[in-house]
Amino acid sequence: MELEALLNYPRALPAMPRAVSDLLVEMNREDPSPKRVSELIGRDPALTTRVLRLSNSAFFRVSRKIGSADEAVALLGMTHTRSLVMAAALGGSFKNVPGIDLKQFWRYSLQAAEIARSLSETLHQNQSGAFTAGLIHAIGILVMHIAMPDRMAPLDLSTSPLDFNRAAAEKAALGYCYAEVGAGLVERWQFPVEMVSALANQISPFEGEAYDPLAGVLHLASWRARAQELQLDDNGLAATFPDMVGLTLGLELDSVLGKDPSEWSISQALGAFIG
């Protein structure tokens, strides 16, 4: 299936929920109303549950338990709330994806999100945007498995979805990879243009005419989260570290490893996607 055909395949791309569409309209206003945002989140019980599970997870380090959409907006602010809503809505749109262990996929994605946010803090980038981009950077993998399960099955046998060489294997087989698919999806969901660009450029963030620091952060965060899933030892980490991307961002291996989550267990946040 060609990329354009895939992005127009109705069964593969989830439609944006009405609640999320209304939320984006409100949050894109010059002076969005926190009360209106809270009301719109509350209209969708499933979205509310996912937002609260994420907002109470260790990732956001809140001082007390958040029990309502009102509290989430008040404590986290509009920027974090926007990221939570978009990520939770998109993540909750995929169920029973053929050939994919969704628990592993979202565990990996949450780890990448936390690492991306930590790296963005060091680089003085937008932490909320980096967290969201990290959380959804591999969403194209799910779309491809829904649209083309028969094409993905043999590819998964030769190169697993979280293998370091996965993008190259997809490009060899299809002419495109999960990065371009994910960028096409979030563009249709009206995500910010910088996030669309980061997803599209994450495989080669600084090659050709591309110079995309957020894509570079995603590249490093993805590498580290995959290495964790593969349980690489110190030698494996050193051998696979994407040093040219790190060099461009001014980050060495030790500085990237220093951004590891304090705990690799993310069970509470994981419930927002598979609960």
Q: Would you call 60 helix, strand, or coil by DSSP? A: helix
pLDDT at position 111: 93
Task: Please count the other Cβ atoms lying within 10 Å of the Cβ belonging to residue 247.
Answer: 11
Rounded to 10 deg, the angle between the 178-188 and 166-174 helix axes is 80
pLDDT at position 16: 82
Tokens of 233: 């030892």
Alpha carbon distance 208, 230 (integer Å): 30
pLDDT at position 2: 92
Continuous H helices in the chain:
3-7, 18-27, 34-42, 45-55, 69-91, 102-122, 127-136, 139-147, 149-158, 166-174, 178-188, 193-201, 213-230, 234-240, 243-249, 253-257, 267-274
Tokens of 68: 């309502």
270 contacts 106 by C-beta, under 8 angstroms: yes
From the list 190, 223, 248, 217, the residue with the least C-alpha distance to 131 is: 217
pTM: 0.91
DSSP symbols for 92-150: TT--S-TT--HHHHHHHHHHHHHHHHHHHHHTT--HHHHHHHHHHTTHHHHHHHHH-HH
pLDDT at position 275: 60
Alpha carbon distance 232, 226 (integer Å): 9
Q: Average pLDDT per run of 10 along the chain, which is 275 residues long?
A: 90 83 87 92 88 80 85 87 82 87 92 93 92 93 95 97 97 97 91 93 94 97 96 97 97 94 74 74
159 contacts 165 by C-beta, under 8 angstroms: yes
pLDDT at position 152: 97
Task: Please count the other Cβ atoms lying within 10 Å of the Cβ belonging to residue 258.
Answer: 12
Domains parsed from the chain with CATH numbers: 3-14+95-274 (1.10.3210.10), 18-92 (no CATH)
pLDDT at position 221: 98
Cα separations (Å) of 111 from 189, 222, 264? 23, 9, 7
